[in-house]
Amino acid sequence: METRTRALEFNVVIEKDEDGYYVASVPALRGCHTQAKSLDVLMKRIREAIELCLEVESPVVNEFIGVQRVVVAA
């Protein structure tokens, strides 16, 4: 009997912090995030993080709409 693996697709939010690290998070998986100095390493690490998160939780179904920048007085 052949076992098929279905592919799951996730939106990943990537930011750059004040120390120059790229930080990735997955809104559909609470607590799923990682960081790295390069985007190549970051993408490898976030795939690994997603796989680990999927072992303990189910993704939240959400629809990605976009990103907006909001300016407020500080």
Span 12-26, pLDDT tens digits: 999 999 999 999 999
What is residue 57's predicted lDDT score, i.e. its pLDDT? 93
Of 45, 9, 4, which is closest to residue 27 (Cα–Cα)? Answer: 9
Instruction: Give a yes or no: residue 52 inside a domain.
Output: yes
Q: Is the pLDDT of residue 6 over 90?
A: no
Q: Which domain CATH number covers 42?
A: 3.30.160.250
Say if residue 4's pLDDT is above 80.
no
Please name the residue that has the structure tokens 């998070």. 25
Please say whether the dihedral angle defined by the alpha carbons of residues 47, 50, 12 and 23, taken in this order, is positive or negative: negative
Tell me the residue range of the domain where 35 lies.
Answer: 13-56
DSSP, res 60: P
Global pTM reads: 0.82
Question: pLDDT category, 62, cuts 50, 70, 90?
Answer: confident
- The answer to the question of residue 40 being in a domain is yes
Nearest to 13 by CA among 53, 37, 29: 29
* pLDDT of 1: 64
In the chain, DSSP finds a helix count (H) and a strand count (E) of 1, 3
Residue 41 maps to a domain: yes
Domain tally for the chain?
1
